[in-house]
Amino acid sequence: MPETFEIGLGNHDPDIRKKADSDFVSFWDGQARQLSWFSPWTETLDWNPPFARWFVGGKINASFNALDVHQLSKSSKPAILWEGENGESRVLTYGDLLAQVRKFASVLKSLGVKTGDRVTIYLPMVPELPIAMLACARIGAIHTVIFSGFNAASLKDRIGDSGSKVIVTADGGYRRGKIVRLKEVVDKAIRDLDFVKHVVVLERTKNGITLTSRDHLWHKLMHDASPSCDAEPLDSDHPLYILYTSGTTGRPKGVLHRTGGYLTHLYSTYKWAFDIRDSDIFFCTADIGWVTGHSYVVYAPLLHGATWVMYEGAPDFPDASRMWEILQKYGVTIFYTTPTALRMSMRFGDDIPDSFDLSALRLLGTVGEPINPGVWTWYFKTIGKERCPIVDTWWQTETGGMLISPLPGIETVPLKPGSGTCAIPGVDIGIVDKDGADAAPNTRGHLVVRTPWPGMLLTLWNDDKRYQDAYWSRYKGCYYSGDYALKDADGYLWLLGRADDVLKVAGHRIGTAELESCLVSHRSVAESAVCGVRDEARGEVIAAFVVLKQGIRKDHGLEDELLGKVRSDIGAFAAPKQIYFVSKLPKTRSGKIMRRLLKAVVNGAQTGDVSTLEDDTAVTEVQTAFDEIKKSMNQD
């Protein structure tokens, strides 16, 4: 169902790709000039593979570009429309936000924070989180935001690695009607970390906390802080933040992003992909603890002086209507969410979203994982009412911003359900085989990036060798993404999931994304996840976990249908040995399915770190379903 959308501000540039392809360095030079610099650069790109320095010699500040530049024209314009899980709401204008950021930057200075120091931020989704980030950026401190779902051990690892001497946290945060006691987690994490000198505590939930000599209450510090704090001119390559990957395998990697190149990438891609207008209300459901929250919840919207919705709670609490209620309440025009959240909503049918007025929507987006064509079509028809283009984006923590996406802000192209379309201008993406040669059309290969781009990570914090080994050692001169993809005959890119999410059954290799997409395309299935199970005869067999749509009952007939569909659509080798019907799958709070937990259950292994798990009852349910089937098989 390819669809062509004629949208935009009339600024479509048919030559933009030609310009980018002819000289990508000059192209990005032009994009960077749309930001505000204290002094210009002397060299656009210094490329010493695999290390890139962008806009060498230029001086810039992220906080200045996000706030100060808008004060003459947008001081009274809402920047953040905040919605708390418990029904509270706040509106912060660009003037309000600048005043708060200046004061908290003064607070950090009073605590001895200097340029280059690291500050750990462990807060719920409240406005003080972006305020703390922007305050760090204002004085040249490196912020490291840690997702508020992490436990004390994970928090300690990240604080220890970054060497943060100041931590910003809260007494607690709301999640699914309960209080998450964040201060208690911090106390436990830093018990033996003597280098942590100060802990700033925001009173969010008013739960009882213990204050020590290094603890300070946010409101008291802010009351006494100077309202004046100028933005520090910083080198373009000055580190803006460290963001740690989830660490499901090995120790977490501290991805380090620079200032000038990162801002250039975000400013450009946000404009290109979302066709941003001054009247828009933007809502991205990502938690700021992840890279999508850094890039397209905080920095990119503020660079454009946009108004954006910030939501504290779970997308389905207190019920499945919460997201649609927020879209209606704030008149959201651009909605950016995950395929996982959409599949969850699909499970409850069309009646819930149809009961809300979503007529303000003009553009939809997806992020975080490949989107199944069936989910794409539901999103397009049920939510967008067949009038909103879908911006399906691919990128990673390491890339800083989107690298693959439709770009309705600068061009009009047909959209294919399930495809990310093509690379953004100025980025050379290839699909290669194991030897590094271009893969044939419609042939699965590894996704690589052949040239540097402004948003790319600077390195890994204190670990240049690991940076080289992890991303640049597999294919000479190319960034290795670790993702499978293919390019069709029309040049459209299709993401197929992680290369390490591959099952090998009787000598056949099958990606988990391909198999899950097949199962989800069945009319009765809302969500699915697959994993490998050790098998003496075949090496590995497939276990599938399936969540049915509301009102659908499981039975052997349905199981046979699903197995038949896999055999028909993919091949008999890919048919799961066992299908487990469950009401929910274990997911992180950012919406990603934790397949390693499923694999641990079916293989009788330890589940390991579950600090990012959204709902621990999901694992219990998976274990119960597994035990019941195992018991019935033993009885047979």
Distance CA(554)–CA(580), nearest Å, equals 10
SS (H, E, C) 183-210: HHHHHHHCCCCCCCCEEEEECCCCCCCC
Residue 542 lies in a domain: yes
Query: 271 is written with which tokens?
Result: 């404009």
The amino acid that residue 412 corresponds to is: T
Q: Are 419 and 392 in contact (CB under 8 A)?
A: yes
Around Cβ 16, how many Cβ atoms within 10 Å?
A: 16
What pLDDT score was predicted for residue 512? 80
Residue 517 lies in a domain: yes
3-state secondary structure of 217: strand
Distance CA(395)–CA(406), nearest Å, equals 13
- Spans in the chain with pLDDT lower than 70: 1-12, 246-251, 504-509, 536-539, 589-590, 608-609, 611-612, 630-636
Residue 535 lies in a domain: yes
Q: Which residue has the tokens 């009412």?
A: 385
Residue 169 lies in a domain: no
Range of the domain at 551: 501-635
3-state secondary structure of 378: helix
Residue 529 lies in a domain: yes
Residue 631 lies in a domain: yes
Q: Are 122 and 208 in contact (CB under 8 A)?
A: no
What pLDDT score was predicted for residue 247? 43
Any idea what the CATH number is for the domain that residue 587 is in?
Answer: 3.30.300.30
Q: Which residues pair with 510 in a beta bridge?
A: 503
Residue 620 lies in a domain: yes
Number of independent structural domains in the chain: 1
CA 250, 158, 449, 477 torsion-angle sign: negative
CA dihedral 95, 304, 275, 320 (to 10 degrees): -50
What does the angle CA 299 – CA 300 – CA 303 come to, to the nearest 5 degrees?
85
CA distances from 64 to 107, 234, 302, 315 (A): 18, 11, 10, 32
CA distances from 383 to 7, 157, 481, 533, 547 (A): 18, 41, 31, 37, 21
The amino acid that residue 101 corresponds to is: V
Q: Which residues pair with 48 in a beta bridge?
A: 51
Distance CA(526)–CA(535), nearest Å, equals 28
315-340, pLDDT tens digit by residue? 888 899 999 999 999 999 999 998 88
Q: Contacts for 109-114 with beta carbons within 8 Å, 24 or more apart?
A: 109/139, 109/229, 110/221, 110/225, 111/166, 111/197, 111/198, 111/200, 111/216, 112/165, 112/197, 112/198, 113/139, 113/141, 113/165, 113/166, 114/139, 114/140, 114/141
3-state secondary structure of 225: coil
Pairing of the two strands 459-460 and 142-145: unpaired
3-46, pLDDT tens digit by residue? 545 444 446 677 899 999 999 999 999 999 999 999 999 999 99
Residue 65 lies in a domain: no
Distance CA(394)–CA(403), nearest Å, equals 6
Distance CA(84)–CA(173), nearest Å, equals 10
What pLDDT score was predicted for residue 590? 67
